[in-house]
């Protein structure tokens, strides 16, 4: 998870199958976003289905993303809780800009752009980070990083070792 992924160069049936599988996995795991490296694929693509601050859902696929964040006096941080399907059940505060725009390519290779605030802004940044080899724990102060690790360890027995991949093939369970 700590290395940049290969750019997507083929917008073909194989990519479409991957994206379909990623969406199914994300939904089965009750996630709002999923990056290809979270399912063991070395391609710079993520999927998302996430509400913004006004509860409007956006969903999409972004290949080879470029994140645009506010700077200077336009930048306001949101220190809300963040989690990751790669560390299921663990949530800690993580400061991120409260608005983000991601530009990249869609599943067919045409340009796409998504922007928003609230959870959507957090999701777009989080998933783009994954593709660049950054996990959200890397952005935390030591205290919160330790708490994240402790919380993930305490919940580890609640999830299969190949989570979130197994989420798409499991029968529903209570947690």
CA distance 61 to 171: 26
Catalytic residue among 14, 127, 170, 174: 127
DSSP 122-159: HHHHHHHHHHTT--GGGGS-HHHHHHHHHHHHHHGGGS
As given in the structure block, the two tokens for residue 12 are 């073909």
CB-based contacts of 66: which residues, under 8 Å, 6+ apart?
A: 102, 103, 104
Helix (H, G, I), strand (E, B) or coil at 98: coil
CA distance 128 to 134: 9
Pairing between strand 57-68 and 87-93?
unpaired
Residue 150's φ and ψ, nearest 5 degrees, are: -65, -45
Q: Is 151 part of the annotated catalytic residue set?
A: no
Point out the residues that are catalytic: 127
């Amino acid at each position: 998870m700590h290395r940049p992924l290969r750019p997507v160069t083929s917008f073909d049936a194989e990519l479409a199958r991957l994206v379909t599988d990623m969406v199914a996995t994300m939904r089965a795991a009750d996630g709002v976003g999923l990056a290809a490296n979270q399912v063991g694929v070395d391609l710079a693509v993520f999927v998302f289905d996430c509400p913004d601050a006004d509860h409007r859902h956006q969903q999409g696929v972004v290949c080879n993303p470029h994140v645009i964040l506010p700077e200077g006096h336009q930048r306001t941080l949101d220190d809300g809780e963040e989690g990751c399907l790669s560390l299921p059940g663990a949530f800690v505060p993580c400061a991120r800009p409260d608005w983000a725009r991601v530009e990249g390519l869609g599943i067919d290779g045409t340009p796409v752009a998504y922007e928003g605030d609230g959870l959507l802004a957090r999701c777009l940044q989080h998933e783009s980070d994954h593709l660049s080899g950054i996990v959200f724990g890397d952005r935390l102060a030591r205290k919160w990083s330790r708490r994240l690790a402790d919380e993930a360890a305490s919940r580890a027995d609640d999830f299969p070792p190949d989570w979130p991949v197994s989420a798409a093939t499991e029968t529903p369970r209570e947690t």
